Structure 1
Amino acid sequence: MELVNEHKIGISKDTALEKEVGANVKGECLEVGMYLAMARQAQREGLPEIAEVLKSIAFEEAEHASKFVEMNGIIKATLKENLEMMFEGETMANNEKKAAADLAEKEGLEHIHDFFEESSRDEARHAKMLKGILDRYFK
């Protein structure tokens, strides 16, 4: 197979735009969180149709972030390497969020404790899903 044009990873790495692209990764990710939080707010205020628009915008911002991630070569060359990297990240996030939950409990911050506790379990679930994929498809 001869491909004459395809997507490339890391095209902005070591260029004058690397820093700007990196800043855009962070900005786009923050916008995803902001739009999803606003969608939850809209739901609480009884405006579900606005919530759906905000979720749609959040997804587009996530797509922007993903393209900037590719440009700066933040992802690895192969899917297996990326899955392994994310498995490690989810495992670390599981531990860090549990530690934050414990600290919140110690500080008497019940709602913060509850969210960190639940999100720690979510990170464990994510890690298990990634491990399952790695074990089934990349052994």
Structure 2
Amino acid sequence: MSIKGTKTEKNLWIAFAGESQARNKYLSYGRRAKEEGYDDISDIFIETAKDEEEHATDILRFLGGVNHTLGNLRLSAQSEHYESETLYKEFERVALAEGLEDVAKFFNSLSEKEASHERVFLELARRLVVDQDKK
């Protein structure tokens, strides 16, 4: 049976977002604990972040989101393009309209970084195709 369009698919996406956010939070918490000299606490946060990453990867597999490398590169480039050209530009516009110039600059820098990621993924995909054609 296909997961597409089911409540379970929606639940998996919610779980994926939660696990992904927890991973990033715990990595940040681990870095802060290390900065404050709490290496043992840092280690626990980092280890827990790795567990959350595994959970997210397992969930993504259920959703059919871990494909062959060329497909992953192309999908990643598309995601980075959307973030760069649509998402963060809109967020920047809203922040400017609300007078939050520091936040707007932050979103602008994210947009530029995501565009850089897109270029890297596209170049890697191009190289992979060239390498496969040589075989």
Instruction: Please give the TM-score of this superposition, normalised by the length of structure 2.
Output: 0.74
Structure-1 residue corresponding to 2:102: 111
- Tell me the distance in 1 between the aligned counterparts of 2:102 and 2:43: 26
CA distance in 2, matches of 1:86, 1:125: 12
Q: Decide whether aligned partners of structure 1 residues 112 and 41 sit closer, same or farther in structure 2, where only a CA change above 3 A counts.
A: farther
Q: Do 1:101 and 1:116's aligned partners in 2 also have CA atoms closer than 8 Å?
A: yes
User: Which piece of structure 1 moves more, 81-90 or 50-59?
Assistant: 50-59
The answer to which structure has the higher helix fraction is 2
Provide the identity percentage: 26
Letter paired with 1:67? D
- Residue 117 of structure 1 deviates from its aligned partner by 1.8
In 2, the alpha carbon distance for the partners of 1:137 and 1:33 equals: 30
Whichever residue aligns with residue 25 of structure 2, its letter is M
Query: What TM-score do the two structures reach when normalised by structure 1?
Result: 0.72
Q: Which runs of 5+ in 2 are unaligned?
A: 131-135
- Flag the 1:120–1:19 CA change in 2: closer, same or farther, 3 A: closer
Match of 1:28 among 4, 15, 19: 19
Unpaired segments ≥5 residues, structure 1: 1-10
C-alpha RMSD over aligned residues: 2.8
* Aligned length, in residue pairs: 127
